[in-house]
Amino acid sequence: MEDNFKIGIIGGKGKMGEFFARFFQKKGYYVLVSDKDTQLNNQSLLQEAKVILISVPMSVFPKVVEEIAEFTTPEHWILDVCSLKLEPYKIMKSLLKKPEVLATHPLFGPYETSLKGKTIAYFPIRGKNLLNWFIKVMSEDGLSLIKISPKKHDQIMGLVQVLNHFWLVLLGNIINHSGFRLEEIVSLATPSFLKQLEILQRLAYQDEKLYTKIQVDNPYGKRFRTLFYRECKKLIKALNSSEAQVFFETNFKEVKTLAKTLENLLKSSHPH
């Protein structure tokens, strides 16, 4: 490791910023942070550190990149951890002409105790040294690295993130308006429903501002919310008709086929 190989985190006092500060410190790296109330500002951070990780909300991301662009050099390595990738990719490619640049999205939150089996998406923008270092460092902790174009990433996140969060909030709303006490629901929950409740309970520790931004900022989210609504209407209409049994059995068989394929895929890609 180079003597001057320091890692600077812009937004280092945020939850993900703090997570990556701990992550790199455990690996023996010297970590510096800049944020609203730190002695170091972003310009000073670039003077001190070789690797710059930008961990800020999308609302201020363009301003931050524009601010640091003039202070970057060919020796700098810069990466982001935004949950959307197309706009950050365009911004960094346009403004950061000198340094090596990498777009990334950790597909996990800041409360994970182990990264083994977790996934991080990435797409190189400029340079190979940063990319090779990043892949090596992340692989050491058992992370699965997926290279994907920014546009395709955001399209899939419309399903994986936007619809998933939409469904969880909807489930919470239904439970709130069900007329049952939570204790009653939990006491009679089946194993599969308990798993859904365990996923729902994770929202207790999440940032509502971040989840709101993910829901409203992804331009592909509307497509999947509309698809959700359309499929709900179709299923409700069929179940309220005389063809309810035939329709549901046929639909269930189709989903069983998908489920079997999914079972095999999960066994191979996420082994226990």
pLDDT in tens, 25-50: 999 999 999 999 899 999 999 999 99
Structure confidence at residue 76 (pLDDT):
97
In DSSP terms, which residues pair with 79 in a beta bridge?
53, 102
Q: Do the Cβ atoms of 122 and 180 come closer than 8 Å?
A: no
- C-alpha span between 87 and 41 (Å, rounded): 24
Average of per-residue pLDDT across 231-254: 96
In DSSP terms, which residues pair with 11 in a beta bridge?
none
Average pLDDT, the chain: 95
Give me the residue label for tokens 């000073």.
Answer: 44
Average of per-residue pLDDT across 85-107: 97
- pTM for this model (two decimals): 0.90
> Taking each helix axis from N to C terminus, what angle separates 221-239 and 244-269, rounded to the nearest 10 degrees?
140
Q: What is the dihedral of CA 99, 104, 109, 112, to 10 degrees?
A: -80
Closest to 76 in 3D by CA, of 29, 131, 130: 130
DSSP 20-72: HHHHHHHTT-EEEEE-TT-SS-HHHHHHH-SEEEE---TTTHHHHHHHHHTT-
Query: Is residue 112 over pLDDT 90?
Result: no
Q: Do the Cβ atoms of 134 and 79 come closer than 8 Å?
A: yes
